[in-house]
Amino acid sequence: MIILRLDRVMADRKMSLNELSEKVGVSNVNLSKLKTGKVSAVRFSTLDAICKALNCQPGDILEYTPGEMEEE
């Protein structure tokens, strides 16, 4: 299972969803879904833009935890 840690990285950088949205060029709604883990895929271009805006590595945002994926 992949866990998204975007909220933690944003908090560490003291960056709001609105500010990140402006820097990345992705809507607040889509970033909010990413932040809450309500997505099943992330484009590399989006991940690249987020990492640039937050000055972080993909591994700071994505965490792998062994286990089965939850079905909704």
Per domain, the residue ranges of the chain are 2-62
Segment 4-11 mean pLDDT: 95
DSSP string, the chain: -EEE-HHHHHHHTT--HHHHHHHHT--HHHHHHHHHT--S---HHHHHHHHHHHT--HHHHEEE--SPPPP-
Residue 66 near residue 3, CB atoms below 8 Å: no
pLDDT in tens, 13-43: 999 999 999 999 999 999 999 998 899 899 9
Give the per-residue pLDDT at 37: 86
Residue with tokens 């079905």: 71
Q: Which two tokens stand for residue 12?
A: 């560490």
pLDDT of residue 67: 78
Q: Does domain 2-62 have CATH number 1.10.260.40?
A: yes
What does pLDDT average to over the chain?
91
1 pLDDT band (50/70/90 cuts)?
confident
